[in-house]
Structure 1
């Protein structure tokens, strides 16, 4: 799989959920360029892979329809033969009822979530997100015989670049929120700039020290609390490791942060911010 194939498949899964909805919502794209660092690696070696995440708000419909749209997305995906990641039971009375599902056999993960805006009126906002499996970037893919489509170009960012400073500032705040030590930089981690047809983004990826399972889960929860208190848009997403990860979007910058437990025992963090944007990283 390459980047364009991953994006196309993610978009297909989104439209499988949306195209039959009534009332029909408008898709409003969330986040920066979809390609990002793979943060939930499934082995103990270097990880130079990337993954694609495509997310949309469902707009243009009354707020009281938000939960109904999430139910319709679930039903449409079930008709495609996709499976729940858990029991399939959803607490529809919670603040953020969420459906977690995955495709087969290509193993794309998706969620449909509604956040309550006015509990008294039952009004909210709905969103859909699809995340691809991790795959090698174009240079590595070519070595394995694949032909990349619309390849992204990776390069080292300038340390004086505003986007670099912004990414590092957000990482510093996340580090403070996690309240655990960081590990030495591993192969495939650190700063990079990615350029593709949708623009340029700066990525900063790093890991904590290995933690017991309970402490990993607690650290991810502290990150989620930080993002919510700072006004970020937050989604919980399932991971192969078991502990739900967190994907958060900054309200003013189009910066996206991901925090997820890894099978290595660490918590992996990735911050992606557009190469052009505000000079500060106020959160």
Structure 2
């Protein structure tokens, strides 16, 4: 079956738009497929802890940078679901760009953030060593025992001179806000219909999104306009559509993230092909071998990696791309 037959036309349009749309966070605790941990905190406590972790990295830096906040909505839906299932948990993500210092200091600031977090007893969140020989290294770490995840990233400003701008990001574990139950909620993306969503299809879409999230290994951004869960209908039927994005990434890291997603799809037996984009940015589209589910992972013009998963209401079926 061809790609266009595997998903509704409205979903194809949304997936095409997402490649050039703006992108906007979050890592959470993994419990090996068990029921999600009910982390006890509220939004302000999560924001305060994220700010503390950032200042632990930045306050002792030399030269001393200025913190420039990136993004306006630190609280977003939980993408890093422990059991790959939906619920009402949320995550906090706080991102700052480090400004007011020469671009040649960006790598030095990333190294200093790493050193400060190690002194706090925090751990690396990757199995491989940081490639400090690279002009633009990235550090991924996590706190213990409260399991906030953070990274220090160097974005490219002048590749020839090896100059960039550093940023630091902290993401809370998923937590259930006071007064919320575990029932799922749905966003209302612009231009897409969002009636009551079939639970089985919703679970498939969000489950696939969660596994893609694990493969990308860069976190997600707060939910942007037009993102979230929706139901789309056209002449080919009704499907559940789930979209989300990562924060803007350095060009090289965005390319690597899409490559990790492609490796995941191939290892899981999905049918995968590259999708051409007007800007020449990397993008892959994959079809699940036992469903009509189609997933797209693409770098947007802002540097954010955008993810879209579309699955039909009528259970498993074969799909080719």
Class of the TM-score when normalised by the shorter of the 2 chains: 0.5 to 0.7
The residue aligned with 2:61 is 21
On the 8 A contact 1:46/1:187 being kept in 2, the answer is no
Residues in 2 aligned to 1:78 and 1:86: alpha-carbon distance in whole angstroms: 14
- Long gaps (5+) in structure 1: 144-153, 169-182, 190-199, 232-245, 261-266, 269-283
- Identify the structure with the greater strand proportion: 1
Once residues 266 and 133 of structure 2 are traced to their aligned partners in structure 1, the CA distance between those partners, rounded to angstroms, is 27
Task: Give the C-alpha shift of residue 115 in structure 1.
Answer: 2.1
After superposition, the CA RMSD in angstroms is 4.3
Say how many residue pairs are matched: 200
1:216-273 alpha-carbon deviations (Å, 9 max, x no partner):
7899x999x97x9569xxxxxxxxxxxxxx9988759xxx77659xxxxxx79xxxxx
CA distance in 2, matches of 1:55, 1:73: 14
Aligned mate of 1:204, from 212, 228, 239: 228
Runs of 4+ in 1 over 3 A off after TM superposition: 93-96, 154-157, 186-189, 200-203, 205-208, 216-219, 228-231, 246-252, 256-260
Per the normalisation by structure 2, the TM-score is: 0.51
Separation of aligned partners in 2, 1:123 and 1:69: 12
Structure 2 CA distance for aligned equivalents of residues 133 and 87 of structure 1: 20
Greater gyration radius = 2
> Which consecutive unaligned segments of at least 5 residues does structure 2 have?
1-40, 193-199, 207-223, 230-240, 244-260, 283-296, 311-321
Match of 2:150 among 81, 99, 110: 110
- Distance in 2 between the 1:101 and 1:259 partners? 23
Give the alignment of 1:57-68 within 5 angstroms: 57-68=97-108
Residue 139 of structure 1 corresponds to which residue in structure 2? 179
Which structure has more relative contact order (CA 8 Å, sep 6+)? It is 2
SS of residue matched to 1:36: strand
The structural deviation recorded for 1:100 is 0.6
> Is the Cα contact below 8 Å between 1:114 and 1:125 reproduced in 2?
yes
